[in-house]
């Protein structure tokens, strides 16, 4: 989850960001800015950091499953290639603009879903929820900030 609310109060802009932290707790940031552009820039940077941290947690979990499971479920070349593409993204993600990061995550949606654990794995639902949240929030960001009208 990632929700942003900005409200003007006495000429200042009060920003509230509520989001799911990588450890799946709800976190909240409240900051005041004199300029709406500063609030927007802060939100963009924070969102990019949120996407990266969520992806790191998701990909790290998948990597553990791929390397420790004796199941053939994880041994396919397609799943391994999906994992490698996401690891490659994470290597350069901090150098990407928020726009570029969001577009790359959307482009890699199939890979994100491809590395989900087996539906019989006890972590399947939480991994599915995290993957869905990352993709959904990137699509929402794309529609609001990137997609031409």
Task: Write out pLDDT tens, residues 62-82.
Answer: 999 999 887 788 878 999 999
Q: Torsion angle of alpha carbons 92, 15, 141, 125, nearest 10°?
A: 80
H or E stretch including 26?
A: strand 26-33
Structure confidence at residue 148 (pLDDT): 66
Task: Write out pLDDT tens, residues 94-114.
Answer: 999 999 999 999 999 999 999
Structure confidence at residue 75 (pLDDT): 79
pTM: predicted TM-score of the whole model, two decimal places: 0.93
Structure confidence at residue 73 (pLDDT): 86
Running DSSP on this structure, what letter comes out for residue 115? T
Whether residue 33 contacts residue 12, with contact meaning beta carbons closer than 8 Å, is answered with yes
The structural domains of the chain, with segments of one domain joined by +, span 42-146
Length of the chain (residues): 149
Ordered per-residue pLDDT tens for the chain, 149 residues: 999 999 999 999 999 999 999 889 999 999 999 999 999 999 999 999 999 999 999 999 999 999 988 778 887 899 999 999 999 999 999 999 999 999 999 999 999 999 999 999 999 999 999 999 999 999 999 998 887 65
């Amino acid at each position: 989850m990632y929700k942003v609310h900005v409200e003007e109060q006495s000429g200042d802009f009060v920003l509230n960001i509520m989001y799911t932290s990588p450890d799946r707790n709800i976190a909240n940031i409240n900051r005041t800015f004199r300029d709406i552009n500063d609030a927007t820039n802060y939100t963009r940077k924070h969102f990019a950091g949120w996407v990266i941290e969520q992806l790191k947690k998701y990909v790290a979990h998948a990597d553990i499953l791929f390397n420790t499971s004796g199941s053939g479920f994880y041994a396919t070349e397609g799943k391994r290639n999906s994992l490698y593409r996401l690891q490659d993204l994470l290597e350069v993600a901090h150098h990407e603009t928020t726009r570029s990061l969001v577009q790359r995550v959307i482009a890699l949606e199939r890979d994100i879903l491809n590395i989900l654990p087996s539906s019989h794995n006890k972590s399947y639902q939480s991994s599915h929820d995290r993957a869905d949240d990352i993709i959904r929030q990137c699509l929402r960001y794309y529609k609001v900030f990137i997609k031409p009208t």
